[in-house]
Structure 1
Amino acid sequence: MKKSLHSLTGIALLIVIWTIIDFIINKGIIVPDPIETIGVLITNLFSKEILIAILQTTWKVLLALWLSILVGWCFGLIIGQSASLYLVARPFLMTIQAVPVVSWLSFVIFFWGFGWKGPVFIAFLSLLPVSIFTTLSGLRNLDQRLIEMARVYRVPRSRVLKDIYLGSLFPFMISILEVSIGQAWKVILVAEYLCGDSGLGAKILDARMAINTTQVWALSIIAILLGVISEYLIRFELEKVAFKWTIG
């Protein structure tokens, strides 16, 4: 109850600050009226065109997120078995992490042109190093005594993988999601804006080209809300899975 009250207070404070800035600047082309923007936002939520754009962006975010986690886990588990492999792979991962999004944008436009592949590919590459490094951190925190005990008692490899490796890495997976979900939304939206042909990012571009600032702000708020809601839902589902895993 207190958390909800604090959140509502924070939202109300943001609207008050927004209203004050709008009053001071008094230029709707820069900062639109809050009430008008909220009205446009509500209208968008009942627009078939915008709802389709939301779904298009959402599936790209989820695809990039799960691909980065799956590939990150697999590579992390392989690299984590050998210090030499880690030393070989680290420069490549650091390079991928250091490359700016705009460079990947140039590459995908030349390679694929405009479409859904570019945003997913860019988001995947942006999230992959985080996923791999977090998996490696989880491996370093494994209790080696448990692994040794499993060897002594000849515990099946499937049980060792499920109960020791994956069980120990599960909290790190939640950590990856918490760090990556917001980043995934931002990268996908930017990529849609610059090299996409569908989704919320493309709709924001259309609104900007039409000099419709109110629509730009309304769509941006929708994107923020989707990021927050998706993070909460994913975390909630993972906690349920973790609970079933523990009692199972």
Structure 2
Amino acid sequence: MRGKKQNVRLWAVAFWLIVWQLAAVALHAAYPHGALLLPSPVSSLARLWTLASTAVFWRAIGTSSMHILGGFLLSCALAVVLAALSARFSRVEELLAPLVAAVKTVPVASFIILALIWLSSRTLPLFIAALMVFPPVYLNVLEGIRRTDASLLEMARVFRVPFSRTLRGVYLPQVLPYFRSAVSAALGLCWKAGTAAEVIALSSGSIGEKLYNAKIYFQTADLFAWTAAIVLISAAFEKLFLLLVDKIAERMGA
């Protein structure tokens, strides 16, 4: 179900940047090595700009994006298919219920450590991102299917409308708002979980590895710069993906 959109206001961003800057200035004045504890927004942005001019930066972005967004897309496809099966067969829903409950409640760190026993450091982020995305998408799509207008479905049956047309004209317009709401929340979640998996597994050439190295070598400005890169990439992909969903919904009349 489409919730109320929370817009990020420019003045609010500016406020917190000023708070950050003041905190950094106060810390730098109080401690000789205050920059190691909290770099200023300006130094973090400058470091991000420097990193963005290197090939290593873009290789890490590409590696992490391939793993995390690949897991997101695979999980979305699987969640939609299984939600449709669960709506049609109650036994499928009953079978999946314990798995969905476990994924929702067990800490992501536990899944990362357990999965690392069986998976390589390169495939782990994809698996963890997919695992975290599955519950919200599955549950929302299942709810959307169940809330599909019964009168429209009955009319389609009476007039013997082909399933392909029923899917396009009835199910998709009804389910897409639920799907949109789910992926909006799941995209940020998959980046958090996927990056955490990269850090723990030390996935070679990934953003997570760069974050770990920044922590080991006390490169705090790098840590903030890479974190900003994650936020920007996640926000950009969310905008693009939701724009695609909205275009589809517009064509479907949702």
Contact 1:192 1:198 in 2 (8 A): no
After superposition, give the CA deviation of every residue in 1:160-200 in whole Å (9 maximum; x if it has no partner).
12221223111112112111111111111111111122321
Q: 1:190 aligns with which of 189, 196, 199?
A: 196
* Mean CA deviation greater in 219-228 or 157-166: 157-166
Corresponding position: 1:19 with 2:21:
yes
User: Counterpart of 1:240?
Assistant: 247
Contact 2:103 2:132 in 1 (8 A): yes
Contact 1:97 1:129 in 2 (8 A): yes
CA distance in 1, matches of 2:244, 2:60: 25
Q: 1:166 aligns with which of 169, 172, 175?
A: 172
Q: 2:100 aligns with which of 76, 93, 101?
A: 93
How big is the shift at 1:84?
4.4
**Moved beyond 4 Å, runs of 4+:** none
* TM-score normalised by L of structure 1: 0.91
How big is the shift at 1:7?
3.1
User: Counterpart of 1:3?
Assistant: none
How big is the shift at 1:145?
0.8
Corresponding position: 1:177 with 2:183:
yes
User: Counterpart of 1:215?
Assistant: 222
How big is the shift at 1:64?
1.3
Count of residue pairs the alignment pairs up: 242
Q: Which runs of 5+ in 1 are unaligned?
A: 1-5
Contact 1:181 1:231 in 2 (8 A): yes
How big is the shift at 1:237?
2.1
After superposition, give the CA deviation of every residue in 1:175-232 in whole Å (9 maximum; x if it has no partner).
1211111111111111111112232111111111221111101111111111112111
Q: Which runs of 5+ in 2 are unaligned?
A: 1-7, 29-33
User: Counterpart of 1:9?
Assistant: 11
What is the letter of the counterpart of residue 160 of structure 1?
A: T
What is the letter of the counterpart of residue 121 of structure 2?
A: F
After superposition, give the CA deviation of every residue in 1:86-124 in whole Å (9 maximum; x if it has no partner).
234312210122221112112222112322x10110111
After superposition, give the CA deviation of every residue in 1:4-26 in whole Å (9 maximum; x if it has no partner).
xx733222212210111112222
Corresponding position: 1:81 with 2:88:
yes
How big is the shift at 1:126?
1.2
2:88 is paired with a residue whose SS is: coil
What is the letter of the counterpart of residue 179 of structure 1?
A: A
Contact 1:29 1:211 in 2 (8 A): yes
Match runs of 1:13-92 below 5 Å: 13-26=15-28, 27-92=34-99
How big is the shift at 1:46?
1.3
User: Counterpart of 2:154?
Assistant: 148
CA distance in 2, matches of 1:95, 1:147: 34
- Shift of the 229–190 alpha-carbon distance from structure 1 to 2, 3 Å rule, reads same
Alignment identity in percent? 24
RMSD: 1.9
